[in-house]
Amino acid sequence: MAEFLSLTCKSCGAKLEPTTKRDIFACPACGNEYLLQANGEIKAVGEQIVISGSQVNLGGQKAVECAICGKKNKPEDTFHCHTCDRDDLCARHQNPQTHQCADCTPLDGSTPRSGTNSVVGGLMECPVCGKRNSLEHSFRCRLCGRDGICISHQDPHLLLCPDCARKVGPEREALDAEHAYLAELEKVNAKKFKTQNSAYYMIAKHKGKAYRSEVYKGYYKRIGLPMFLILAAVGIIVFTLMKINEGTPMPAGCYPIIFLAILVGEISVINFGISGMIRDEVAHQRKVIADLEKKLGN
């Protein structure tokens, strides 16, 4: 009569289950695989498991043993819990919100403390969640200087770690708004002919009416003297014509010419004033953006 064997895992003691591979049994608890030999004994697939502290040689590959479930893992599939300071824990035991192990996750969901960065086996420990990453799967935050942070933690827009992104978020929004305002200014500045309303409503939309009033003070200063000179020149021309034709009415053809001269002069002065005002505002806006980018570390 055939003798039935009860096979158990050498690592955790769980009952082994057959796999689709011939004579290969797997542990449902820790995932180790064993080869059933002809003498009825089992042997770990690959090299024999040799436990030395938490370091384990599994299948010819260096692995580490999880302190919670005993499962053997590659170092890149583990993390370090910053709360209990236990190392080499299975990534599946990590709480995705608090980045702590299952045993240390607080019921109130508070944030875990931040640990120090370390390098183990060429892998860098993430100071945010404790997971170990290769260099190509990590980054260094340019603001706080922490290295080895998981790429998954990087803010896609700010390219910063989550802690720094929360701090500079409002400042970044302000910088984006300043860039949008500068783009509108440059669009107006690119126009060959400008009217008094070319930037009137746009400035108020981005900066408010009070700011627009301050900007337009420069416009009024620019057009004051040129407008006075144009009117004075027209007045002198009219006075001269009246003197020449003293005693007789001014020819009817002179009136449209005078009106056209005033109109062309006014348009030229307004274009001159608006162009100068926009140029000054563009220069000022570029300085504002440069200061904000310097503050954000861009």
Residues 136 and 254 in one domain: no
Q: How many angstroms separate the CA atoms of 75 and 69, rounded?
A: 15
Q: pTM here?
A: 0.40
Residues 181 and 285 in one domain: yes
Among residues 124, 153, 182, which one ends one of the domains?
A: 153
- Tens of pLDDT along the chain (298 residues)? 344 566 787 777 788 888 887 778 888 877 778 877 777 777 776 434 433 334 444 444 567 888 877 777 888 888 888 778 888 888 888 887 777 887 776 544 444 434 445 555 567 888 888 888 887 788 888 788 888 899 898 888 777 888 888 877 777 778 888 888 999 888 888 887 777 677 888 888 888 889 888 888 888 888 888 888 877 887 887 777 777 766 666 677 777 877 887 788 888 888 888 888 888 989 999 998 888 877 776 5
Q: How far is CA 43 from CA 7, 24, 46, 50, 269, in A?
A: 11, 10, 8, 12, 94
Residue 50, in any domain of the structure: no
> Residues 6 or more apart from 109 whose CB is under 8 A from it?
97, 98
Domain region containing 82: 62-153
Residue 56, in any domain of the structure: no
The residue type found at 212 is R
Residue 163, in any domain of the structure: no
Residues 183 and 284 in one domain: yes
Task: Please state the domain count of the chain.
Answer: 3
Residue 271, in any domain of the structure: yes
Residues 264 and 220 in one domain: yes
Coil vs helix vs strand at 3 = coil
Residue 162, in any domain of the structure: no
